[in-house]
Amino acid sequence: MAKLVFGMNQSLDGYVDHMAFGPSPVLFRHFIDSTRQQAGSVYGRTMYEIMRYWDDEHPEWDAPEREFAAAWRSQTKWVVSRSLTSVGPNAILVQGDLESAMRALKAERDGEIEVAGPQLAKSLTELGLIDEYIIYLHPVVLGHGTPFFAGPRPPLRLLSHDRVDENVIRLAYAPA
């Protein structure tokens, strides 16, 4: 049985913003390796549209960016959306009953499936379907933006913590 894991980079004050701060080379390597090991990813529409950037080749990319793009392209992606009518390569559109679709996905797969996007994570949290939350805590204060937890904060218990690079701590939590 697969487990659904919601993880994102987060500021010290609890916000996520892919434009405000990005991964160091060490953290990016961590993300490449993690992406290779995942059984797939579940995206909400907004996060999927941001990540579609990796579907196209960009001549300015360095070797790690090309490596991440290859890992991302090779994994299956499930895209939860009421408004999209089609999705890109290696992606499956999920419409209708979110709970049934995600329960079936967890039952038929093994490994870790990334959940990407705070709004989708909010919906899956409310359904009791997130198995783990991973916060990559950066020493940045944004003061505004999209919060990591888009809804009420679920009770959590710390599973593990480790330093990924000189400035980022990875915190893993399970629902309490």
User: pLDDT per position in the chain (176 positions), as tens?
Assistant: 999 999 999 999 999 998 888 899 999 999 999 999 999 999 999 999 999 999 999 999 999 999 999 999 999 999 999 999 999 999 999 999 999 999 999 999 999 999 999 999 999 999 999 999 999 999 999 999 999 999 888 999 999 999 999 999 999 999 99
At residue 19, the pLDDT reads 85
Identify which of 97, 98, 109, 116 has the alpha carbon closest to the alpha carbon of residue 7. Answer: 116
Q: Would you say the C-alpha torsion 100, 49, 154, 168 has a positive or negative sign? A: positive
Question: Which domain, by its residues, includes 82?
Answer: 2-175
Q: Report the alpha-carbon distance of residue 24 to residue 78 in Å, rounded.
A: 28
Do 155 and 46 touch, CB atoms closer than 8 A?
no
Can you read off the two tokens belonging to residue 71? 């890992």
At residue 7, the pLDDT reads 96
Contact partners, residue 83, CB within 8 Å, separation at least 6? 45
At residue 18, the pLDDT reads 83
The DSSP H or E segment spanning 124 is: helix 118-126
Do 99 and 127 touch, CB atoms closer than 8 A?
yes
CATH of the domain at 160: 3.40.430.10
Identify which of 164, 99, 97 has the alpha carbon closest to the alpha carbon of residue 136. Answer: 164
At residue 152, the pLDDT reads 86
Q: Could you give the number of structural domains in the chain?
A: 1
Identify which of 82, 84, 93, 76 has the alpha carbon closest to the alpha carbon of residue 41. Answer: 76
At residue 138, the pLDDT reads 97
pTM above 0.85, yes or no: yes
Identify which of 40, 7, 175 has the alpha carbon closest to the alpha carbon of residue 112. Answer: 40
